[in-house]
Structure 1
């Protein structure tokens, strides 16, 4: 089966009634967890972006607290999982400021983690990559926000 393009799907959805669209959305939500998470964001969280950011930060705090710090293999695995989850939440939002806030928070949490991430090459490279991504996204924001977040990035780089 060939997958239709977004334009084709959009055109086809234009022909559906409200009830049919509701049924399609519900069926889509039942199919995969990520679809349900995205619909949850769009329906309940999109109106209050700050609340969404706070809830993602709480999830990150819990995940960092649950990391098994006995060896670096487990730390790397856990940090990679946290980062994957954060990236998924960023994709749901599609807001550049939210992306910067969450990436900088991730870097802050990684920096304060014990044992230090600097002793492991993979963790250090992951940290630097996320800082670089945050910098690139900051460049796309308003000038005032660029200055504020730029100061935060400078603190994390030193």
Structure 2
């Protein structure tokens, strides 16, 4: 089966009735958890980005609390899983500020972990990559937002120097 381009699909969808489009969306939501999650975001959470960010933070808090901290190996696996979740959530939103906020929160939580992640090379490098990624994303934002986020990054950097 040949998969059509988005342009072709868009043209085809314009020829369908409202009822057909509703049925297609519901059918799409049944097949994959990500599709259902995206539909949930678009229908219920897209209008209030702040509550969306807060709900993701609560989810991240639960993930960090349930993390096995007995070994850096287990921590690393869980941290990577959490980072993948953040990437999925930010893809739904498409707003750079949401991505920056969630990555900053992720880095804050990493700094709070015991045992300290900065004593493990792989976790420390993962942390540094996220900081670099945040800096790149912040540079694309409005100047006022850049200032606020850069202040937050400085706080993270100051915390990091203690270890």
TM-score w.r.t. structure 2 length?
Answer: 0.95
Superposed displacement of residue 62, structure 1: 0.5
**Could you report, residue by residue, the CA deviation over 1:50-83 in whole angstroms, capped at 9, with x for unpaired residues?**
0000000000000000000111110001101111
What is the match of residue 68 of structure 2? 68
What is the match of residue 117 of structure 1? 117
User: SS of 1:130's equivalent?
Assistant: helix
What is the match of residue 45 of structure 2? 45
Superposed counterparts of 1:14-93, under 5 Å: 14-93=14-93
CA–CA separation in structure 1 for the residues paired with 2:105 and 2:70: 24
What is the match of residue 127 of structure 2? 127
Would you say how many aligned residue pairs link Structure 1 and Structure 2?
158
Q: Does 1:153 align with 2:149?
A: no
Structure 2: stretches of 5+ with no match in the other structure: 159-163
Structure 1: stretches of 5+ with no match in the other structure: none
- Deviant stretches of 4+, over 2 Å: none
TM-score w.r.t. structure 1 length?
Answer: 0.98
